[in-house]
Chain A
Amino acid sequence: MSATLSAQHVVKRYGGVVALSDANLDIHSGEILALIGANGSGKSTMSKVINGVVDLDGGQLLLDGKPVRITSPQTAKKLGISTVFQELSLIPQMSIADNIWLTREPLKSFKVINRKLLNQKTEELLALFEGTLRTKLKPDLPVSALSPDEKQVIEILKAISINPWLVILDEATASLDSRQVERLFELVRHWKAEGKAIIFVSHRMEEIFRIADRFSVLRNGKTVGDGNIKDITEKELIQLMIERENVVQFTKASSESESQVQASPVYLEVENLHTDTLHGVSFEVHEGELVGIGGLRGQGQRDLLLSIFGDIPYRGNIKIKGESIQFHHPKDAIKQGIALVPGERAREGLLYIRTILENLLLPTWNKYGFPLKIKKAKEDATRIGERLNLVMASLMDPVSSLSGGNAQKVVIGKWLLRNPQCYLLDDPTKGVDVNTKSEFYTLLTNLSKEGKTILFYSSDDDELVGLCDRVLVLHDGVIRAELKGATLTKENLIAASLGVSNGGEA
Chain B
Amino acid sequence: MRKTSWETLTTKYPALFSTILLIVALLINFYLQPNMFARETLNSNMRVFLPLVLLAVGQAFVILGGGIDISVGGIVSIVNTILAVYVGLNGSIEKVWLFIALSIFAGILCGAINGFFIAVLRLQPIITTYATSFLYGGLALFILPNPGGGIPQRVAEFYRTTTPLGIPLAFYVIAILLIIWRYVRSTQYGSYLYAVGGKAEAAYETAVPVTWIHFSTYVISGFMSALAGIAITMLSGSGNAEIGSPMTLTAITAVVIGGTALSGGVGGITGPIMGALTLGIIQNIISFAHINTWWETFVKATIIVVALAAPGLINLFGRRKS
Q: Which residues of A contact B (CB under 8 A)?
A: 53, 72-74, 77, 85, 88-94, 98, 102-103, 105, 107, 110-113, 115, 141-142, 144-145, 158, 276, 313-315
Contacts and interface: CB of A to CB of B under 8 A. Distances in A.
Given A94-B195, A107-B188, A113-B190, 14 more contacts: A72-B207, A73-B205, A73-B207, A89-B202, A92-B198, A92-B265, A93-B266, A94-B198, A102-B203, A102-B208, A103-B192, A111-B188, A111-B189, A313-B320
A314 B205 contact: no
Interface of B: 1, 4, 7-8, 11, 183, 186-192, 194-195, 197-199, 201-208, 265-266, 319-322
Contacts, number: 86
A142 B11 contact: yes
Given A74-B207, A89-B206, A313-B319, A105 B188 contact: yes
A142 B8 contact: yes
Given A93-B194, A111-B188, A112-B186, A144 B4 contact: yes
Contacts of A77: 207
A317 B8 CA distance: 32
Nearest to B186: A112
Contacts of A111: 187-189
B5 to A, nearest CB: 8
A480 B211 CA distance: 52
A65 to B, nearest CB: 27
A303 to B, nearest CB: 11
Residue among A72, A77, A93, A315 with the most chain B CB within 10 A?
A: A93
Contacts of A144: 4, 7, 11
14 contacts: A73-B206, A89-B205, A91-B203, A93-B194, A94-B194, A94-B198, A98-B194, A103-B207, A110-B183, A113-B187, A141-B8, A142-B7, A142-B11, A145-B7
Contacts of A158: 206
Given A73-B207, A142-B11, A145-B7, A91 B187 contact: no
A313 B322 contact: yes
A113 B191 contact: yes
Contact of B194 (A91, A107, A141, A145): A91
Contacts of B321: 313
B206 A102 contact: yes
Contacts of B189: 111
B198 A314 contact: no
Contacts of A91: 194-195, 198-199, 202-203, 265
Contacts of A73: 204-207
Contacts of B190: 113
Nearest to A75: B207
Contacts of B194: 91, 93-94, 98
Contacts of B197: 93
A94 B198 CA distance: 8
Q: Which 6 A-B pairs have the closest CB atoms?
A: A91-B198, A313-B322, A93-B265, A93-B198, A89-B205, A89-B202
Nearest to A98: B191
Contacts of A105: 188, 191
A327 to B, nearest CB: 13
Nearest to B321: A313
A339 to B, nearest CB: 23
B294 to A, nearest CB: 38
Contact of B1 (A88, A92, A110, A276): A276
B197 to A, nearest CB: 8
Nearest to A103: B207
A92 B183 CA distance: 23
A95 to B, nearest CB: 9
A315 B11 CA distance: 30
Contacts of A142: 7-8, 11
B208 A103 contact: yes
Contacts of B206: 73, 89, 102-103, 158
Given A93-B198, A111-B187, A315-B322, A85 B205 contact: yes
A158 B206 CA distance: 10
Chain A CB count within 10 A is highest, among B4, B191, B266, for B191
Nearest to A85: B205
Nearest to B263: A93
B202 A88 contact: yes
